[in-house]
Amino acid sequence: MALKSIIYKADLQVSDLDRNYFGQHTLTIARHPSETDERMMVRLLVFACHASETLAFGRGLSADDEPDLWQKDLTGAIQLWIDVGLPDEKLVRRACGRSERVMLYSYGGKIADIWYEENRTRLAALKNLGIFNLPADSTQKMATMAQRTMNLQCTIQDGQIWFSAGEETLQIEPVRLQAPS
């Protein structure tokens, strides 16, 4: 018998001063049995960074043909494809062919650095791809904030992110590795 996903609930308040976006989102997150708290919290952080009324969670780990998050227009065309982690370069290339813009958020410290160095040249050719690396100490601290029911706040200004759960606040500085053109 296959293991079932664990359901998490999050009330996420986003104040993105860089995009002039302010919103309250009530989210239900299905954490795949093979997914860690760290990866799930990174998905929540990335949702906050791109928050909109049309941004939605995909099946992620459950399907190679869907991203972790995506945004579609009214015709069903994919405007934004977002993946978290260290995907295979072929999957990234396929995503770039299917979407107007693709964003990739890597994490994991030294492993993420090695992955980027190995794929840098091939990924640089993908003009609609943006890549950010999240510091390992930040994502590991975010994992400790994971609860089955969460009240989270995220403030973004000048590329800096303040992510809060209750009394705990974490400052995160994503490193831009590649910008989409």
- pLDDT tens digit string along 34-83? 899 999 999 999 999 999 999 999 876 556 678 999 999 999 999 999 99
List Cα–Cα distances, 14 to 49, 118, 124, 132, in angstroms.
Answer: 8, 34, 31, 19
pLDDT at 62: 58
pLDDT at 32: 87
pLDDT at 5: 84
pLDDT at 64: 64
Which residues lie below 8 Å from residue 150, measured CB to CB, with a gap of 6+?
8, 9, 10, 11, 165
Domains of the chain: 6-156+163-178 (3.10.640.10)
For the beta carbon of residue 47, count every other beta carbon within 10 angstroms.
Answer: 24
User: Would the CA dihedral through 157, 164, 173, 45 be positive or negative?
Assistant: negative
pLDDT tens for the chain, 181 residues long, are 567 889 999 999 999 999 999 999 999 999 988 899 999 999 999 999 999 999 999 876 556 678 999 999 999 999 999 999 999 999 999 999 999 999 999 999 999 999 999 999 999 999 999 999 999 999 999 999 999 999 999 999 999 999 999 999 999 999 999 999 8
Q: Are 115 and 140 in contact (CB under 8 A)?
A: no
pLDDT at 1: 54
How far apart, in whole angstroms, are the C-alpha atoms of residue 130 and residue 117? 15
How far apart, in whole angstroms, are the C-alpha atoms of residue 99 and residue 157? 27
Q: Are 78 and 58 in contact (CB under 8 A)?
A: no
Q: Name 24's bridge partners.
A: 13
Residue of 84, 178, 93, 70 whose CA lies nearest to 134: 84
Q: Are 109 and 136 in contact (CB under 8 A)?
A: yes
pLDDT at 71: 97
pLDDT at 49: 98
